[in-house]
A and B are shown apart, each in its own frame.
Chain A
Amino acid sequence: MQIKQYKHLGLAAVTGICLLSLALPLFYRNWGSGQLSRQGTLRPETPGMLSDAAQEHQLIYALYRNRFAVQTALELPGDAQQIKEELQTKTESLADAGALPDLVARRARWILEQPAQETACKSENGFAGATYLIKQEEAPGSCWISACWQENTGVVVSYSVTEDAAVQNLEHYLEAYRNYLGVEELTDWQAGTRKREAWAWSQAGQLSLFCCRQGSGFLLGAVSQAEPRADWLEA
């Protein structure tokens, strides 16, 4: 008799629990809101975010940040002497680091010794840029030197100069440029060469470096990119 009573009680309890469970969504609604207010949630990963370690590197983070910044400033004519001196400094620092071939460095020095036909400069988002252009008398067209650097460190992130010489062994200069930038601590570099170009890309730093001959110019550069350029991978 007692067992039967217990069975009835048990059955009534199970029935009650099952019927109460119908209100589970309401309970979840109230409990879930309270839980969110108290503890919050983990922030989901945002695709394309720079790793914490890379954010600590001033240059890498500045380049990365610059990727999202609005570029509104224009190059405007500047003081030729000041631009010449600035570009001479940058040329020498690159040459000292071994990032410029001798022929290119000599050509750059020669250009800077010529009277400027036109100069321009700009400053935006922590980076400054300058261009020094001369008119060649013996040949049609003009020659120039252009560079962009981080204002507070002076590190050159882009450098181009007019040079017809067939520079070989571009990967050697790219390696020297990487050391010059101080980003060799990134360990996941992918590197490659093409006919007139050497490149390297790091996923951790979302950073691309390149050294190439383009037309009659020699180019060095560092750019923040989420992925390496497609034509690099095709090669």
Chain B
Amino acid sequence: MKFAHKLTRAIVLPLCVALSAGGTWSIHRNFQVALDTAARTNSADQMEQRYALENDLAAVQGDSANQIYTLLCTYEQEQRTLGRGERTFAVFGENGTVLYSNLSGTILYREQQRALAAGEDRVLYVNTETADYQLLSTPLRGLSRPLWLLNVYDISAQFAERDRQVRQHLFLEAVALLLAGTAAVLVARLLTRPLKRLETVSTALSQGETSVRAELHSGDELEHLGQTFNHMADSLDRQMQALREESARQKRFVAAFTHELKTTMTAMLGYADLLRKGEQSPEKQHKAAGYIYQESGRLESLSRELLLLLGLEQGGVALEPVRLSAVWGDVIRSLPDLASRLVTAGEEKTLRANRALLVTLLRNLVLNAAAADTEQGTIRLWCAKRAGTLCLGVSDTGPGIPAEELERLREPFYRLDKSRSRQNGGNGLGLTICEAIARAHGTTLQMESEPGKGTVVWITAEEAEPCR
């Protein structure tokens, strides 16, 4: 069942019950009040007649049925004379004997006896085809024999009024339900329109249309739901974009890695084949073996660096306070051939970092700088504050890097000068590893370069309390 139908039922069905119960209760109350009012009026009338009859009967000498009948006939005659001839009543003696009655035949004797048996505290009703009657009975007191007076009053008007109210209520009920039903259908459609829009959008999303959005302006919870839905769609779009980029990056990595292996392996195969033929001079044999040895070492170094890169991408690097002088010392000691070209600049600081990784980062940057600067220029290891942030980096006075190449340098196996770089023992993963280390420290690698003037590469660093 559709939600709009449920909503319509939820409005209309309770309304049915409420209208019907409320109307019935109201009709019942009105009818009760009308019957009570009639009973009070008729009681007062009956009492007036009772007192008069008691006075008359008390004065009569003798109490035979004939005498009573005669007196009651006289009484009724007097009443008619006084213009009170409308009273219909009966007087009963012991055992329900009828002593006098002017009741019409529609009130059966059985009903009359039932009214007497009910006593003076109850009011009985008789419904005939032509009229509805109220029966009141009361004993006549102070007489020598027990007598009962039964009065019958026509209350057809009260019953007719009740029936009229029932008919009127049924008509109003039908009109109210028609109006309420129409309103409920309209409201249900209005309320479910945003849901239909959401359904359309989610269907489109499931079919890959990530650009569609739910434009809801209902100003209520559904609008909020639409906004949340749109945020979810945005997030999904971003994640899919990131996945696409990651997929492309991995494809490029695999392609570059395959090329790297293929180039090295092709050369090694060539030299190995040369050695296998065994007709080369000792110098050539030595050169071939040396090349194979050197390339094997490079492949071994490549595998180590790949392991390091994988480890960094998996995260979980422990940071601790590290003195800057210690880091610089480690870098300089690991590069004895470049010690004469290295200069440090900056105050002593304590950084929050992983010492070994930070040393690897700076060492790679220094090696890149040394490889780039063929003029044997000075390489500066520096630390300074820039715009209130502590920065740590390496500067060289080499030929610099073209602006369009700067971003691509971070990609694995990307080299500015491919042949020379490989000859220097580089495998194209240096800056990729540096970028990964920087990310592990919560920052990124920043590069500034101007052709002919050199390159500056740095990261921001978090200062820590000095070590004890």
Contacts and interface: CB of A to CB of B under 8 A. Distances in A.
Interface of A: 11, 14-15, 18-19, 21-26, 28-29, 32-33, 36-37, 40-44, 46, 49, 55, 58, 61-62, 65-66, 68-70, 125-126, 152
Contacts of B40: 44, 46
B406 interface: no
Interface string B141-165: 1100000000000000001001100
B39 A43 contact: yes
Contacts of A49: 47
A68 B47 contact: yes
B409 interface: no
A68 B48 CA distance: 7
B52 interface: yes
Nearest to B124: A40
B387 interface: no
A96 to B, nearest CB: 27
Contacts of A43: 39, 43, 120-123, 136
Given A29-B163, A32-B28, A42-B123, A65 B17 contact: no
Contacts of B169: 25
B250 interface: no
A32 B39 CA distance: 17
A33 B35 CA distance: 12
Given A70-B52, A125-B55, A46 B47 contact: yes
Contacts of B356: none
Interface stretch (B18-26, B277-285, B335-343): B18-26
Contacts of A21: 16-17, 20-21
A205 to B, nearest CB: 15
A40 B59 CA distance: 35
A65 B43 contact: no
B58 to A, nearest CB: 5
Contacts of A29: 162-163, 166
Contacts of B14: 18
Contacts of B21: 21, 24
Given A43-B120, A46-B47, A68-B48, 11 more contacts: A21-B21, A22-B16, A26-B166, A28-B24, A32-B31, A40-B122, A41-B122, A42-B122, A55-B141, A68-B51, A69-B52
Contacts of A36: 35, 125, 127
Interface in B273-292: none
B39 A25 contact: no
Nearest to B50: A65
B439 to A, nearest CB: 53
B309 to A, nearest CB: 55
A24 B17 CA distance: 9
Contact of B27 (A25, A55, A126): A25
B242 to A, nearest CB: 41
B123 A28 contact: no
Nearest to B174: A22
Contact of A126 (B48, B59, B162): B59
Contacts of A126: 55, 58-59
Contact of A69 (B23, B55, B118, B166): B55
Given A29-B162, A40-B123, A40-B124, A46 B16 contact: no
A72 to B, nearest CB: 11
Contacts of B223: none
A53 to B, nearest CB: 13
B36 interface: yes
A42 B121 contact: yes
4 pairs of A and B residues whose beta carbons are closest in the complex:
A18-B13, A40-B124, A36-B125, A65-B51
B141 A46 contact: no
B77 to A, nearest CB: 15
B237 interface: no
B173 interface: yes
